[in-house]
Structure 1
């Protein structure tokens, strides 16, 4: 038998306790067939020798927003603006650029009021710049956005009979006039004017986004919400992923979480739904796990509350500087219970967005009832973000056997802002690591891109040193080891997404997905400073920077991978 690919390196970290280190790995098709002595006598069609580099399992981003980020790559980037005059200047330049197209919207992304003295843009000033041209600026958190009077007029927000949608707010000033800020589900009022995006446009966004994923060493990701709610981009969004995979425009493996709003009542034999005869799901009874190695369904995504950055997360005690503001749940607990249990009994494990401790209590109540009534599934239920969790909630997470997906990557760029909002007494509860592991829950690594970047090396280093960009400690007692940080994006992410049989460690029979680092993340002085030399997806290079690394130049090569 002949290998399709033989890969060598001085250090191959398999993350498999039975064979933790190797120097050679053999691949046939897209799967690993052996290591070292097991393949020593076998010839290979192709060979790749990475010398002193370190190879690990391919990195997994367990929670990100790929289509959203890809679509935003050609929007006005406001993340680097400092001061509102800088924001107004960028909007003005975009209006000028669009002057030849009277129908074009102004799109922007990455606004964060912390960079502007806590202020949001003045709607009068924006109106002067944009006139009748619609505008949509996404907040860095994704849980609010900014628009102008022209857009507000399009969905009737200025009409005296207008009512806020369930789970969202059109923010108004003391006189009752809209400020242009939309919170949570109110963003759907603008998106209803833009959606659905075409499959072709989503494919282009996926192509651009996942090329960049490959450059970060990412071989798999979980898309945290498609097909419905304010997080979806098209009712047929799955078709865009399939098309991207079939045409070589998907450069990492996608697990797709349908938004709860995308599920519909389904019926069948009573025995198929735990003797209740109906549940919530997708057509034909398609459920979690359906798909192939490139595009597969994951958990159902349920939004319970908002964000810390927007002070809309549901918390027990008020946010600092926000008297009597404890955020809010996006729907009534009874509504969540009915829908979440219906989805779970139809075969969909739950991924519950819960950032504040009030929302985390509700998430755990829902998970506990679902598991007690219908049993535990192959994939663990998840709590997305787990942003501010009390000690008793961490213990309960371990008892329930759930996975949590906090974002260590938030600590550097957003940590100071978050601590200011919650205060020193609650700092130790933020975006935990150590205590989750010790409690026996699964800690899954994720970026939440585009809220923070998807440089997972930077996130892993933040999980280890727990310091903000200003050098301040951030829940320092939650620090984990470099090996644990790597496991959050390999083994533990695979377990949390229910895909450990195929990925997360390098073992015979698993997918040949590798990340090649310039040095070992386990022993590097600073994980954030090591380079991604190459990325291999199913035995094919999806990214190759060996020449750039050798010559110390910024050039890179992005390679198409087809299945």
Structure 2
């Protein structure tokens, strides 16, 4: 018998207790067939010896925004900009470029703005208007929960009209005189996006190819797209078609699990037995539900936004933000609305993924999960709380009791840790983006980047989970540090469990998908995981990235 592929290395970390390590692995038809003595003496059509490198299960990013990031790769990158004068210069250069193209209606797009990089200041709308004139402007905040516009854009969305009202779950921010500042919070961004959507399927395919080819360079073989098809997070009512098309054309370089936004679901009726004796639920047409798809593109949880962001001070908390008297953020809709919609989706077979950063939102998320599980039973795939950003000790205990999965982004600690600590104050900083206490409570801790909020170099995220060091080299919540092995599991085994895909990925075992990440050395023993290189990435037994070539 001839195998399709044999990989060898100094060490293969399987993350499986029955055979924790090996030095060779064989593949047939994109699946693992054996290790070491099980494949001894067999030939293969293709072999790769990675020498002193270390092979692990393919890395999984359990929560990111791939289409959003891919589309933003052609926008002005504001993430490294320091000082508003430099920002204005970038915008002026982009306006000049668009003017040269002869398209007066083309938008100025930018991503990655963070007021912390500008002394806490936001751009002055008068200055933006001076630079852009009547050309629309749309700058995304790094959190994804706010945007900056100019007067031309505000006029297009009707925000200057006397009868204008803020949309549910969003705010067009105004100054003391009632004039818009150009800042749009949360769902108010949908006013602008309505002018841009839907994106063409081919444009989304291009964005997915650009994004996932970069994923492969980071050792990522699977990702969960946290919101498609609806709400302000979606890009097209037929967005799933873009993922299918990308996969069919060989332009999707990592496996995609898609979370439909709850706004994309609609009421469904059927036999009472199909909806836990209630005869109705909420889902996609024809009763398609979580798990539908194939190894390349598959549906996962339903995504529900409960609150905003910590960086924008819109996450719903129970105590005021520091320096923001009487500001506790806000829920994006009424609790009873969430209850009706979330329970309807769960009843129809969709496990819940509830975006909850502030502790007030986490309270609501836990309430919804507990009621769903009590009324309709606990699913094999755990419900999730996305971010779990400011979690009180009692909430950690309750989440463990409910056996949920959580995705607190460890990469935020190194990227925004000091900024987040300033928001919540010393009394609450130990609650931020927890690790150790989550594991000890029996909660599934899934690793994720939340790209493009933070970058998707998962090695940096793992390092932050281990040492908890911020951008200013302070330690944030030292007691929440986890071990290198646990950090690796967050992006392998535990991410697979949180996404309901442990049968096929997350550990290296016979019969599982042949997805591998090749590190330059072992992430368990290296002095710093962040300093390791990605040597190669293997997706279904084929190299999706090879630094040696």
Q: Normalising TM by the smaller chain, what interval?
A: over 0.9
Number of the residue aligned with 1:8? 8
Output the CA distance in 2 between the equivalents of 1:459 and 1:34: 31
Cα deviation, residue 287, structure 1: 0.2
Output the CA distance in 2 between the equivalents of 1:173 and 1:319: 20
Output the CA distance in 1 between the equivalents of 2:244 and 2:72: 21
Cα deviation, residue 117, structure 1: 1.0
Number of the residue aligned with 1:163? 165
After superposition, residues 30-49 of structure 1 pair within 5 angstroms as 30-49=30-49
After superposition, residues 520-539 of structure 1 pair within 5 angstroms as 520-539=522-541
Output the CA distance in 2 between the equivalents of 1:83 and 1:23: 51
- CA distances 1:312-358 after superposition (whole Å, capped 9, x unpaired): 00001110111100000000000000000000000000000000000
Gaps (5+ residues) in structure 2? none
Give secondary structure in 1 for the equivalent of 2:226: strand
Cα RMSD (Å):
0.5
Q: Aligned to 2:260, which of 255, 258, 261?
A: 258
Cα deviation, residue 11, structure 1: 0.1
Output the CA distance in 2 between the equivalents of 1:22 and 1:155: 59
- CA distances 1:76-119 after superposition (whole Å, capped 9, x unpaired): 01111111111111000000000021110000000000111111
Number of the residue aligned with 1:93? 93
Cα deviation, residue 47, structure 1: 0.8
Output the CA distance in 2 between the equivalents of 1:190 and 1:61: 29
Q: Aligned to 1:312, which of 303, 311, 314?
A: 314
Q: Aligned to 2:429, which of 427, 430, 447?
A: 427
Cα deviation, residue 137, structure 1: 0.2
After superposition, residues 413-562 of structure 1 pair within 5 angstroms as 413-547=415-549
Cα deviation, residue 510, structure 1: 0.2
Number of the residue aligned with 1:406? 408
Cα deviation, residue 2, structure 1: 1.7
Number of the residue aligned with 1:274? 276
- CA distances 1:188-207 after superposition (whole Å, capped 9, x unpaired): 00000000000000000000
Does 2:64 correspond to 1:76?
no
- Higher deviation after alignment, 94-103 or 63-72: 94-103
Number of the residue aligned with 1:224? 226
- CA distances 1:164-220 after superposition (whole Å, capped 9, x unpaired): 000000000000000000000000000000000000000000000000000000000
Number of the residue aligned with 1:134? 136
The number of aligned residues is 547
After superposition, residues 111-150 of structure 1 pair within 5 angstroms as 111-150=113-152
Number of the residue aligned with 1:553? none
Number of the residue aligned with 2:394? 392
Q: Aligned to 2:342, which of 340, 353, 371?
A: 340
Gaps (5+ residues) in structure 1? 548-563
Give secondary structure in 2 for the equivalent of 1:98: helix
What TM-score comes out, normalization by structure 2 length? 0.99
Output the CA distance in 2 between the equivalents of 1:343 and 1:489: 27
Number of the residue aligned with 1:554? none
Output the CA distance in 2 between the equivalents of 1:9 and 1:123: 56
Cα deviation, residue 546, structure 1: 1.9
- CA distances 1:358-399 after superposition (whole Å, capped 9, x unpaired): 000000000000001111112100000000000000011110
Output the CA distance in 2 between the equivalents of 1:376 and 1:217: 33
Give secondary structure in 2 for the equivalent of 1:546: coil
- CA distances 1:476-525 after superposition (whole Å, capped 9, x unpaired): 11000000000000000000000000000000000000000000000000
Give secondary structure in 1 for the equivalent of 2:27: strand
Output the CA distance in 2 between the equivalents of 1:543 and 1:459: 21
Number of the residue aligned with 1:561? none
Output the CA distance in 2 between the equivalents of 1:413 and 1:28: 41
Number of the residue aligned with 2:65? 65
Number of the residue aligned with 1:28? 28
- Higher deviation after alignment, 468-477 or 498-507: 468-477
Number of the residue aligned with 1:53? 53
Number of the residue aligned with 2:285? 283
- CA distances 1:210-234 after superposition (whole Å, capped 9, x unpaired): 0000000000000000000000000
Number of the residue aligned with 2:246? 244
Cα deviation, residue 41, structure 1: 2.6
After superposition, residues 350-365 of structure 1 pair within 5 angstroms as 350-365=352-367
Give secondary structure in 2 for the equivalent of 1:424: coil
Output the CA distance in 2 between the equivalents of 1:465 and 1:521: 14
Cα deviation, residue 413, structure 1: 1.5
After superposition, residues 295-310 of structure 1 pair within 5 angstroms as 295-310=297-312
Output the CA distance in 1 between the equivalents of 2:184 and 2:344: 30
- CA distances 1:236-276 after superposition (whole Å, capped 9, x unpaired): 00000000000011000000000000000111111100011
Give secondary structure in 2 for the equivalent of 1:164: coil
- Structure 1 segments of 4 or more deviating over 6 A? none
Cα deviation, residue 537, structure 1: 0.1
Number of the residue aligned with 2:105? 103
Output the CA distance in 2 between the equivalents of 1:197 and 1:546: 36
- CA distances 1:59-82 after superposition (whole Å, capped 9, x unpaired): 000000000000000100111111
Output the CA distance in 1 between the equivalents of 2:15 and 2:311: 35
Number of the residue aligned with 1:552? none
Output the CA distance in 2 between the equivalents of 1:466 and 1:79: 22
Number of the residue aligned with 2:381? 379
Output the CA distance in 1 between the equivalents of 2:116 and 2:479: 26
Does 2:299 correspond to 1:293?
no
Output the CA distance in 1 between the equivalents of 2:159 and 2:301: 34
